[in-house]
Amino acid sequence: MRIADFALERYFARWEFAVEYLLCASDVEAYPMADLLRLADPEARRLWDDLRLGYTESTGHPLLRAEIAGLYERVEPDDVLVFAGAEEAIFCLMSTMLGPGDHAVVTWPGYQSLYEVGRAGGADITLHELHEADRCALDEERLIASLTPATKLVVVNAPHNPTGMLPTRAEWARLTDALSDRGIHLLADEVYRELEVDENDRLVAGADAYPRGISLGVMSKSYAMAGLRIGWLATRDRELLDRCARFKDYTTICSAAPSEILALIGLRARDRVLARSLRIVGDNLSALDDFFARRADRFAWVRPRGGSIGFPRLVGVGSVDDFSAALVNAQGVLLLPGSQFGHPGNHFRIGFGRENLPRALARLDAFLDGPRPS
Rounded to a whole number of angstroms, the minimum distance from the CB of residue 268 to ligand PLP is: 20
The residues near 232 (Cβ < 8 Å, ≥ 6 apart) are: 60, 65, 68, 80, 81, 82, 83, 89, 216, 217, 218
Pick between residue 165 and residue 209 the one whose CB is nearest to ligand PLP: 165
Pick between residue 56 and residue 161 the one whose CB is nearest to ligand PLP: 161
Pick between residue 21 and residue 232 the one whose CB is nearest to ligand PLP: 232
- β-pair partners for 217: 232
Question: 60: phi > 0 → left, psi -120 to 50 → alpha, else beta; which?
Answer: left
Pick between residue 86 and residue 138 the one whose CB is nearest to ligand PLP: 86
Pick between residue 21 and residue 341 the one whose CB is nearest to ligand PLP: 341
Contact 156, 190 (CB under 8 A): no
Rounded to a whole number of angstroms, the minimum distance from the CB of residue 106 to ligand PLP is: 11
Pick between residue 307 and residue 312 the one whose CB is nearest to ligand PLP: 307
Rounded to a whole number of angstroms, the minimum distance from the CB of residue 353 to ligand PLP is: 11
Which one, of 16, 140, 177, lies nearest residue 8 by Cα? 16
Which residue lies nearest ligand PLP, judged by its C-beta? 85
Pick between residue 9 and residue 124 the one whose CB is nearest to ligand PLP: 9
Pick between residue 6 and residue 367 the one whose CB is nearest to ligand PLP: 6
Contact 310, 301 (CB under 8 A): yes
Full DSSP string of 43-63: HHHHHHHT---S---TT--HH
* Residues 232-253: b if buried by 16+ CB within 10 A, e if exposed: bbbbbbeebbebbbebbeeebe
Rounded to a whole number of angstroms, the minimum distance from the CB of residue 302 to ligand PLP is: 17
Q: Which stretches of the chain bind ligand PLP, using CB under 6 A?
A: 26, 85-87, 111, 157, 161, 189, 191, 218, 220, 226, 231
Q: How far is CA 14 from CA 9, 229, 293, in A?
A: 9, 20, 32
Length of the chain, please?
374
Rounded to a whole number of angstroms, the minimum distance from the CB of residue 247 to ligand PLP is: 16
| Strand ranges in 255-360 using DSSP code E only, listed in sequence order | 299-300, 309-310, 313-314, 333-334, 336-337, 348-351
Nearest-angstrom CA–CA distance, 218 and 225: 9
Pick between residue 184 and residue 218 the one whose CB is nearest to ligand PLP: 218
Rounded to a whole number of angstroms, the minimum distance from the CB of residue 110 to ligand PLP is: 7
Contact 51, 257 (CB under 8 A): yes
DSSP three-state, residue 222: coil
* Residues 190-207: b if buried by 16+ CB within 10 A, e if exposed: bbbbbbbbeeebbbbbbb
Pick between residue 165 and residue 184 the one whose CB is nearest to ligand PLP: 165
Q: Tell me, rounded to whole angstroms, the distance of Cα 280 from its chain centroid.
A: 17
Rounded to a whole number of angstroms, the minimum distance from the CB of residue 29 to ligand PLP is: 15
Taking each helix axis from N to C terminus, what angle separates 85-97 and 113-120, rounded to the nearest 10 degrees? 30
Rounded to a whole number of angstroms, the minimum distance from the CB of residue 373 to ligand PLP is: 32
**Residue 52, φ and ψ in degrees, nearest 5:** -115, 140
Rounded to a whole number of angstroms, the minimum distance from the CB of residue 207 to ligand PLP is: 16
Nearest-angstrom CA–CA distance, 252 and 371: 51
Rounded to a whole number of angstroms, the minimum distance from the CB of residue 252 to ligand PLP is: 12
